Amino acid sequence: MDDVDQESIQRLVENAEREQDRGGSLRRDVLTKLIEIAHSSDSQLKCYAANHIRYFFNDFPDLEEDAINVVYDLCEDQDSRVRIEGYRAISGVSSVQHKWVKRNSDVLVQLLQSDEPEEVVVVKTALCDHLDMDPSVTLGVLCDQIIPPEDPMDEEEQQIRDRLRSLVIAFLKVDAVEAIIRKYTKTPGTDTENVFVSQLLTAIRRLETREVEVIIKDLLLMMPCYGPGSARGMDLLHVLLDKARSSLNVKSNDLGSIKTIDFYISLAHFVAIEKRVASPVILLRFYCTSLMRKPLLQRFSPEEQLVLAGRVVEALQACEEESRVRPQICNNEQFSFLRRQVIDGAPNLLEALYDTKIESSTMWDTLRSLLLACKHRKERENWAVPFNLATSISRFRAQAQQLEPGNNGDDIQVLIRSLTEPSMSQASTSATIDGDDLPERPAHLPARPQPGRPPLKRPDMSRPSHTSTNSTVSNSWPAMQTRDSDSVAPPKRSLSSGEATSQIKRAKTEVTEERQLTPSLLSRMTMPNPGDTEKTARRRGGAGKKRVEDSSEPDKHPMSGYSIKGAAAHAERGEESGDPAPRTSSLLDRLNKSEGVDGGGGRKRHRGKA
């Protein structure tokens, strides 16, 4: 073939191009000649063959395989000029026959490893041409090189694969991203978008390198489908949180493991909080359930704990805004639940902040936000600050007092006091006893002893007491309770001081009225029966009544009559009979006296035996 010059080959090609029959023998002969000269030692002929094969490649399917292999050989030629023409020839073949796009794209991806910068530029251009021809297929081929294979590889193959992955990612980030955004994924839901996104998410699941950050920040999040609160963003966030959770489940304090956990958490925070392409509710729930536990926090360095605490606060603030802007994603009930979870875990975060010993604006801002969340819960839910949380908050008191005026120090000091000291509203509702700031004791309990003097026994005025003639107190409470349980029943609940005083007054009044309305036994005996005659009535009660009314010593004769004991004592003293010495008499005797049982119905007294 060395005796074949370029001029004769050029004439054959020109004649074949004018041939109307595309499957004719002349065109077939020209394609065969071009394949032959591609194996010659003449670089100029090789370049000519590379430039013209595409015009006849699609006419003879039986020669396609030979022709494409020749093109691949040209791409590996010793001469750089021939290689460059071979790269271009690949694009020419794919343009006339799209079924070769996938295979040719894979070859071009391998050619990105060229050490010649000028050649790499041509390869990238050829790849961009293939993206225009079939973006879905070409992007699939590129992503296949990013996804780590599941089968194990030897060290050399692993190194080649890692290098090629970095080259492909760089190509997508720098050379293809604009076309991907403006042309291939402009319309949401296309096959190209689905292939590209799904492939990259698979790559993220399998990768353990820093290239994940480039894939997310420089490729995925640049696409129109990753808008605020999008479904694509939620899928991405779940993938990152799954990666972080799996790393957390590995119980190791190895520095590399901790760095991996922090890496995926930071990316998840970037997606949900900074870019807002996913709901912060999912991220905050992850923080509460998987990260805020004390054993997990202690696996991080003090600086990392400070950063994590700040991320929790930012996620909480983002959820609050989400509940206002998009309540269909995060309503007030969901936000309140998440806020309670954060506050329940706040002692661990506060301890982490305190133990870092890093006083920075970030630390104080984080502390202030946590205290504000606690304050809002206290005000809105009537929530009492737990002891362990109040203790954690109090630890910052001394540090906050040293902050410069005008900084967060004033706000933080006020927040600390409001969360660790009793509020004024609580103090005002507490009753005071003798000027002491003590809470009111229930009405059924005895009064507190006062310092410096013996306790005073205060009678229970709600229970009536009966005094005998010798001034002793008779415990008659059971009898009174049986007789009138409604009016003097003991309280079933503690009362305020005003209610207790009112009830005591009512009880005293009722007992007094009961005493006045209930006649004594002697009075009832002297009262006339409805069936008695006027004469009998006078005989029964006239004498006693006269003696009472005519008495010159009213103090000794009560106007309402004597009680049983009083009448007995009076008779024993001899005040009725005028005897100088008192003597005892039975109740029957006294009754007989009042009835005049002397046989004649008169007023003759009947004395019992001495």
Q: DSSP string spanning 333-365?
A: HHHHHHHHHHHHTHHHHHHHHHHH----HHHHH
pLDDT digits (tens, 9 = 90+) for 456-500: 444 444 444 444 334 333 333 333 333 333 333 444 444 444 444
The DSSP letter of residue 554 is: T
Are 572 and 608 spatial neighbours (Cβ–Cβ below 8 Å)? no
CA distance 336 to 486: 48
Can you tell me the distance from the alpha carbon of 92 to that of 129, in angstroms, rounded to the nearest whole number?
10
pLDDT at 257: 80
* 25-53 pLDDT per residue, tens: 889 999 999 999 999 999 999 999 999 99
Mean pLDDT across 308-328: 90
Helices and strands (H and E) in the chain: how many: 31, 2
Among residues 205, 123, 218, 132, the alpha carbon closest in space to that of 164 is found at 123
Out of 215-219, 244-248, 320-324, 576-580, which region has the weakest mean confidence (pLDDT)? 576-580
Average pLDDT over residues 123-128: 97
CB 267 within 8 A of CB 221: no
Average pLDDT over residues 337-355: 90
pLDDT at 177 over 90: yes
Beta-bridge partners for 466 = 474
Please tell me the predicted confidence (pLDDT) of residue 529.
52
Q: Reduced to 3 states, what is the DSSP secondary structure of residue 121? A: helix
Q: Which pLDDT score, from 0 to 100, does residue 316 have? A: 93
pLDDT at 229 over 90: no
Residue 16 and residue 10: Cα distance in Å, rounded? Answer: 10
Please give the pLDDT value at position 76: 94
H-helix or E-strand containing 473?
strand 473-474
Q: Average pLDDT of the chain?
A: 76
pLDDT at residue 572, as a whole number: 47
Q: Which two tokens stand for residue 527?
A: 């009262």
- Cα–Cα distance for residue pair 71/57, rounded to 1 Å: 11
Confidence at residue 9, expressed as pLDDT on a 0 to 100 scale? 86
- Residue listed under structure tokens 């802007």: 325
What pLDDT does 46 receive?
94
Paired strand residues for 467: 473
Q: For residue 252, what pLDDT band results from cuts at 50, 70 and 90?
A: low
Predicted confidence at residue 247, as pLDDT, reads 86
- Residue of 101, 113, 30, 126 lying closest to 76 (CA atoms): 113
pLDDT at 525 over 70: no
DSSP secondary structure, 227-289, as one string: -TT-HHHHHHHHHHHHHHHHHHHS----HHHHHHHHHHHHHHHIIIIIS--S-HHHHHHHIII
**pLDDT of res. 367:** 92
User: In Å, how far are 177, 447, 450, 496 from 455, measured between CA atoms?
Assistant: 89, 8, 6, 22
Looking at the predicted structure, is the pLDDT value of residue 501 above 80? no
Distances (CA, A) of 447 to 431, 438, 443, 492: 13, 12, 9, 18
Per-residue pLDDT, averaged over 358-373, amounts to: 88
For residue 418, pLDDT beyond 80: yes
Half-sphere exposure of residue 342: CA atoms within 13 angstroms, side-chain side: 34
User: What are the tens digits of pLDDT across the range 72-90?
Assistant: 999 999 999 999 999 999 9
3-state secondary structure of 436: strand
pLDDT for 1 equals 45
